[in-house]
Structure 1
Amino acid sequence: MAKILVFGHQNPDTDAIGAAIAFSELQQQKGQDTEAVALGEAGEETQFALDYFDLKAPRVITKAASETTDVMLVDHNEFQQSVADIAEVTILSVVDHHRIANFETADPLYYRAEPVGCTSTIILKLYKEAGLTPAKAIAGIMLSAIISDTLLFKSPTCTQEDIDAAKELAKIAEVDINTYGLEMLKAGTNLKDKSADVLLDMDAKSFPMGDKSVRIAQVNTVDLQEVFDRQAELEEAMAKANDTNNYDLFVLLVTNILDSDSELLVVGEPAEKVEKAFNVALDNHRAFLKGVVSRKKQVVPQLTESFK
């Protein structure tokens, strides 16, 4: 019997990869034959965490049905964010902290979704419910995922449950949360040697909104101007992505992880929906959003409402 594949969303961030590793390890301890895989290469932030805790990056797949019949999803549920042939395999379980949309199965499944800042927070609960404790390295990658998704607890998505889970995992992993966390986040802000296409694809998700397809990418930095010095290059790449992938609107959210603010760059139509969502006027395709750091909580819901 083929292994059950466990994976997060396309363009995986630290939680997508960390949650897959941790959930697969949990399933193995419970007697399942699973393998954590990824739907894209690990970014620098994630690789920093993997290297720090001496973990190997999961192998990358583009399709699942050619090697298994059963999969488990973490950190996503929407089919357009999943493996290309998701409709051809059986989804045994989902552990997620996002909205539920564009998702259905023919068979019953285990579904665990909670409104917390990080999937790995939920997975720690599952370990405890099973009477198990994650190993040091697994605790480390789960902690890394929480730090990443909550921007070291500064994101409005962060809950007390995330903070408590991070403290518990930090003890197991034997690290100082603030020292390690800032070092890890900064590792993901090295943008100078990356092309515009790479920047736009590092952390990007597609969303159906009304009758439109909206692509929302997020880039973390410690210097907004460093990114916007490349505005012309980014706009050209965004327009090309719209044409190639039939996106109607491409929104780039550039987030300063130190100041906890963001600036938008918008290419496509209807751009007025962005202005309506955030009560701003785009100037040179840009708008500053004070205090906005979370795509999940501060961008997607507002845009979705604007498109109704």
Structure 2
Amino acid sequence: MKHLHTKTYGERDDTPLEHAVDEHWDEGKDLLKHLPKKEGHGDTFFPELKDAIFCGHLVTDLDSIAGAIGAANLYGGVPARASEINTETEFALEHWGLPLPPPVEDLLKEKPDRSVCLVDFQQQSQLNKAIPMGNIVGVIDHHALQSNTIVTEKPIFVDIRPWGCMSSIIAHNYATMGVFLPKNIAGLLLSAILSDTLNLRSPTTTAWDERIVSMLVQYVGVEDVNELAAKQFRAKSHALSLMTPYALVNGDMKQFKFTNDAVGKTYTVAYSVVETTDAAASLARTHEILPELRAVKANAPADAPIDAVFLAVVDIVNLDSTLLVCGRIEGSLAVAAYGGKLEDDGSVLQMPGLVSRKKDFVPALTKAVREGWTPPEDVVSDHEQRDLKRSRSMADVAQGDVVVDYSEEPSGKLVRRDSANYTAADGAKAGQGA
């Protein structure tokens, strides 16, 4: 078990990740016995999933891609992606030698009535608009069922478990169903679990996640699981330093609805998360990020307004978070949900020990709204009088169109074009029509 003794970060005690793998080594070995040793051994019988498209949520992450690939192979379907991938997912696909799944739009264009199984989500706000609700035949997920859950006319296949990662569910199904698991897919599932559970340190982590990680480490033959995790997070953190403020805000944003039954109102909150090993670098860009957060509210469609928007910078080394607060409504809701005191002119709230959007951030908001929080009347009145579209000041909202800039990277990156200072040269540089 070389991975338990390699000093990846210099002289230190075993990390929680290494300890978990060691602690559950025998349990992982028992699970491993159920995995067929050769391709073609074992079979599944879920006709409703046969030849289905397996697709994750918008703002695609590693778990949704790994789960789509793993589930498609397990149940006999085709993996797809709902949107572009992040750098951590790109690293993992390359590391394990797997191709990027095609966009779900392309697959549905070829066959519009094709069945779809959702992986890693079941919220309508996270569903790619190309997927008709009537095409959905299954859900494999590990998130709570909330007010915006999909609605189906017929019963569907559902596998939802309170585990730390959806890829743990997929890997477990390979073992319990006795289906051959290709080692490159096993490696991708392992990477997804490390990502979603922050190296098994997130409060969402369960004993089953730890057992599955131990099984996959043995099955794939990873010599140093700590090094694998470090490479993944370095890939993600390095990319964050190169991302534009627009990309940081919109790169991992999900929308949630919270209902205050006492007043009969439902509030929509957009919540972004930035997970990094260098939290200070991201927080140093707060002045750039806040205007982009306000732009999310200001640019929301009239028929689907956003009442509040947050971005949490999660320090995956120290397991703490800092919440960026872009307005007075956000400040009121943040304090009601998480406690503490706003800092830096009301734009920052420290959240010690909170790191998970699923288990820490969203449930606290649900509780605050359910127990009576409503936007402060004076703030709402002020916004209405000044027509600020629920933002503090239009001067503090990022302005201009979002375009693809090819000047620094061949693949391009999303930037916001300042219409006041935009020139013809800028247009050529950014790639007109992109």
Taking structure 2 as the reference length, the TM-score comes to 0.67
Name 1:68's counterpart in structure 2. Answer: 112
Structure 1 residue 178 corresponds to structure 2 residue 238: no
In 2, Cα distance between equivalents of 1:120 and 1:222: 23
1:108 counterpart (155, 166, 175)? 155
Structure 1 residue 298 corresponds to structure 2 residue 345: no
In 1, Cα distance between equivalents of 2:180 and 2:229: 22
In 2, Cα distance between equivalents of 1:46 and 1:235: 26
CA spacing shift, 1:270–1:217, aligned 2, 3 Å: closer
Name 1:289's counterpart in structure 2. Answer: 351
In 2, Cα distance between equivalents of 1:86 and 1:302: 31
- Does the Cα contact within 8 Å between 2:248 and 2:274 map onto a contact in 1? yes
Name 1:156's counterpart in structure 2. Answer: 203
1:21-75 deviation per Cα after TM superposition (whole angstroms, max 9, x unaligned): 10001012xxxxx211111112111111111100111122458754332100110
2:308 counterpart (222, 238, 249)? 249
Structure 1 residue 88: deviation in Å?
4.1
Name 2:97's counterpart in structure 1. Answer: 54
1:95-140 deviation per Cα after TM superposition (whole angstroms, max 9, x unaligned): 1000112222101111011100000111122212321131100101
- Does the Cα contact within 8 Å between 1:11 and 1:41 map onto a contact in 2? yes
What percentage of residue pairs aligned between the two structures are identical? Answer: 31
Query: SS where residue 72 of structure 1 aligns?
Result: strand
Name 1:141's counterpart in structure 2. Answer: 188
Name 1:207's counterpart in structure 2. Answer: 256
> How many correspondences in the alignment?
302
Which amino acid in 2 is paired with 1:197?
Y
Taking structure 1 as the reference length, the TM-score comes to 0.93
Name 2:169's counterpart in structure 1. Answer: 122
Name 1:31's counterpart in structure 2. Answer: none
- Does the Cα contact within 8 Å between 2:67 and 2:166 map onto a contact in 1? yes
In 1, Cα distance between equivalents of 2:63 and 2:236: 13
1:41 counterpart (84, 95, 107)? 84
Name 1:193's counterpart in structure 2. Answer: 242
Unaligned runs of 5+ in 2: 1-49, 260-265, 371-434
Query: SS where residue 138 of structure 1 aligns?
Result: helix
- Does the Cα contact within 8 Å between 2:133 and 2:151 map onto a contact in 1? no
Which amino acid in 2 is paired with 1:13?
D
Structure 1 residue 172: deviation in Å?
2.1
In 1, Cα distance between equivalents of 2:133 and 2:214: 40
In 2, Cα distance between equivalents of 1:270 and 1:293: 19
- Does the Cα contact within 8 Å between 1:68 and 1:89 map onto a contact in 2? no
Which amino acid in 2 is paired with 1:194?
M
CA spacing shift, 1:99–1:152, aligned 2, 3 Å: same
Which amino acid in 2 is paired with 1:148?
S
- Does the Cα contact within 8 Å between 1:79 and 1:86 map onto a contact in 2? no
Choose 1 or 2 for highest CA Rg: 2
Structure 1 residue 89: deviation in Å?
3.4
Which amino acid in 2 is paired with 1:249?
A
Which amino acid in 1 is paired with 2:218?
K
- Does the Cα contact within 8 Å between 2:122 and 2:141 map onto a contact in 1? yes
Segments ≥4 residues shifted beyond 6 Å: none
1:234-282 deviation per Cα after TM superposition (whole angstroms, max 9, x unaligned): 0111111111123211110101111111100022425312101111222
In 2, Cα distance between equivalents of 1:12 and 1:282: 31
In 1, Cα distance between equivalents of 2:156 and 2:237: 38
Unaligned runs of 5+ in 1: 29-33
Name 2:63's counterpart in structure 1. Answer: 15
Structure 1 residue 225: deviation in Å?
2.0
- Does the Cα contact within 8 Å between 2:237 and 2:278 map onto a contact in 1? no
Name 1:265's counterpart in structure 2. Answer: 324
Query: SS where residue 6 of structure 1 aligns?
Result: strand
1:118-171 deviation per Cα after TM superposition (whole angstroms, max 9, x unaligned): 001111222123211311001011001100000001100001100110111122
In 1, Cα distance between equivalents of 2:175 and 2:340: 45
1:71-100 deviation per Cα after TM superposition (whole angstroms, max 9, x unaligned): 001100011111114444321111100011
